[in-house]
Amino acid sequence: MSKITHVLDTSALLAHYFDEPGAELVQQLWALRGQKPGISAVTVTELRGRLGQEIEDSKEAENAADAYLGDLTVCLPVDRAVAELAWQIRTATPQRLPLVDALIAATARAAGAILVHKDPHMARIPAELVDQVAL
């Protein structure tokens, strides 16, 4: 497996599932030969929760989560180094940044990858801290 070049925020996965603007870019990342995008370990909980809220059929929600969390992505850990980066990112971001989003951004930075998201508050993270693409 090649180096992880992109880390998908939960919002990017949801944009893809619901075929919202930006879904094509997420799809293109899966088309890159020999690569899978990364996700932060905290995305597992967040994605399962959001799909469970948005999809009435619980089996369909579970299957969708399993697909995104299984064969389509590589789950990256949140360890002490990532937690410290999340603290740096939160303190450097001028407006409130939820902890989960700081951890996801820190996961991308630790991997040396581009963060792909659809959250306006993530775009407020200083560019020198995390490379990112907003959908």
- Rounded CA gap, 57 and 110, in Å? 36
Position 1 in a domain = no
Under the banding of pLDDT at 50, 70 and 90, the label for residue 33 is: confident
Encode pLDDT of 68-93 as tens digits.
Answer: 999 889 999 999 999 999 999 999 99
Give me the number of domains the chain comprises.
1
Q: Report if residue 69 sits inside a domain.
A: yes
Whole-model pTM: value is 0.94
Compute the distance between CA of residue 75 and CA of residue 41 in angstroms, rounded to an integer.
6
Can you give the CATH number for the domain in which 122 is found?
3.40.50.1010
Per the model's pLDDT, the better-predicted residue between 8 and 1 turns out to be 8
